[in-house]
Amino acid sequence: MPNRIPQLVVFDLDGVLARHDTMSELIRRRLRSSAWRTVRGALPAIAWFALGSIPRARIRMSRAVGTVALSGLDGVSYEALAKSLGAELGSDPAWVLGNGVEAARRHLGAGDDVVVTTGTEETLSRAFLDAAGLADAKLNGTRLCFDGGRARYLHHNLGRNKVDGLADRRIDLFYTDSSLDLPVASLSDHTVLINPDLGLERAFRSRIQNLTVEQWP
């Protein structure tokens, strides 16, 4: 019997491997730690919810909220915060989406090339994955730099930016729960859509041919 050819299997993080949004949790905790940051972050946060159906606006507003929330940090203090929070969430059963993590482990065990692509910053993502038992998964995430107490996005890995690093590769299977991932789904031979509402499912079915919908508890 011929040897099995390894597949390229791509996972979104939040809503697929993590039950909730990991970067939003870090931002929420930072905003709550300072009344000044809470006030400054309120307007872009409101705009993010109001413009939720417009991908470019969602990405821009999420970046604005993140910049406010991370103000006052330098690279060293941010890294310590992100590693600590990622390890905390990745070891918390309330945060780990078991079906997703088990699927990723199965693919890793089968010798597949597993890549997690996420809008969450890479240090936070890596700490979560390691704590959840996915240390062998590769990672494409958002990259930040810090200058004078201000956070700057070097690469915001959302929407079409997620295609970077994947466009020249044949994706066999993609797991996601977000409309922002349609550009990646369009490159994949097969997409698994996790826990969608009717609107999201319709959006994917209208654009993605090889689609499976799964409901994960």
The residue written with tokens 């919908």 in the block is 213
What predicted TM-score, i.e. pTM, was given to this entire model? 0.89
Structure letter (DSSP) for residue 176: E
Q: What is the spatial order of strands in the sheet that 173-176 belongs to?
A: 150-155, 138-147, 113-121, 8-11, 173-176, 191-194, 211-214
Exposure letters 144-165 (e unless 16+ CB within 10 A, then b)? bebeeeebebeebbbbebbbee
* Residues 71-111 pLDDT 10s: 889 999 999 999 999 999 999 999 999 999 999 999 999 99
The DSSP result for 89-105, as a single string, is HHT-TTTB-HHHHHHHH
- Tell me the H-state helices in the chain: 22-32, 35-50, 55-69, 75-90, 98-109, 122-131, 182-185, 198-207
| Tokens read off for 153 | 């996005």
Terminal C-alpha separation, the chain: 37
Tens-digit pLDDT profile for residues 101-157: 999 999 999 999 999 999 999 999 999 999 999 999 999 999 999 998 889 999 999
**pLDDT at res. 41:** 43
The CA-based dihedral angle spanning residues 178, 114, 106, 192, taken in that order and rounded to the nearest 10 degrees: 30
pLDDT of residue 136: 98
3-state secondary structure of 20: coil
Please, what is the average pLDDT of the chain?
Answer: 89
Q: Of the given ranges (46-55, 86-95, 133-142, 201-210), which has the lowest mean pLDDT?
A: 46-55
Give the span between the Cα atoms of 145 and 159, in whole angstroms: 20
- List phi, psi (to 5°) of 105: -65, -40
pLDDT score, position 36: 46
Helix axes of 22-32 and 55-69: crossing angle, nearest 10 degrees? 40
Strand partners, 145: 152
Q: Name residue 158's amino acid.
A: L
